[in-house]
Amino acid sequence: MIEIKENALFIADSHYPHHGDAFLELLKKLDSREMEMSQLFLMGDNFDLLFGYNDYIQTFASEAIVLLQSLSKTLEIHYFEGNHDFCLKTLFPDIHVYPREVQPVMFVLGEKKVGISHGDRYATGFGYNLYSKILRSKMTLRLLKPWEHTIIDHQMKALSQKKICRKFTGFEKRVEKIMHSYSEVDLVIEGHYHQAKVIGNYISLPSLACQNQVAVVKNGKIVFIGISALY
């Protein structure tokens, strides 16, 4: 299992470019070495919409894509695909990319075994699981290519107007269901829910878009930090 190192940076749910430039600015500071981290964990939905096998969708976030491609040459990056960003391995060949079907992935933090996932793998219904499988299919993306501009333009407009920051009522119950799917782990780290909460051994990471926070490993523990405190 891969070790989570001291000073590792976790960025979840940036939803770039529609919900601010914080993600882009963080990548720029990492690329310029103004900010140095031991590892970068991208926890999914870092882009509001990005998928492989399509050149047009890349035009909406080309600067961030190029920065990640450059960073991956020198920085260890782990990308947990989300429900907004998937089929990314061909786009980021030097990044450790984890599709939904292989999540959670097991890491170690000190003496703890840690399960890491974007967060939309467990406590979901049959319909969502089927939809996710079809949407993330290379064949599906290829079949839709003739209508790519119409479909992508419509989706990008809808996503730009979507309200993504809200309190999840009954989140503790959801966490309880999720934890039933993890076995023999000491800690679970997920994004997806935009809640920035620690419930027992479950860490719901802050959304960069909503809380303007990231998570960093300090003294062997995961701590939430406002991005202004990183610089």
Query: What type of residue sits at position 115?
Result: G
Q: What is the pLDDT of residue 114?
A: 98
Q: What is the pLDDT of residue 136?
A: 78
Q: Residue 149: which H helix or E strand, with range?
A: helix 148-160
Give CA–CA dist 28/22, Å, rounded.
10
Q: What is the pLDDT of residue 130?
A: 67
Give the contacts of 167 (CB within 8 A, at least 6 positions apart).
195
Tell me if 1 sits within 8 A of 106, measured CB to CB: yes
Instruction: Read off φ and ψ for residue 37, nearest 5 degrees.
Output: -125, 155
pTM for this predicted structure: 0.94
pLDDT in tens, the chain (231 residues): 899 999 999 999 999 999 999 999 999 999 999 999 999 999 999 999 999 889 999 999 999 999 999 999 999 999 999 999 999 999 999 999 999 999 999 999 999 999 999 999 887 777 777 667 777 777 777 777 888 889 898 999 999 999 999 999 999 999 999 999 998 899 999 999 999 999 999 999 999 999 999 999 999 999 999 998 887
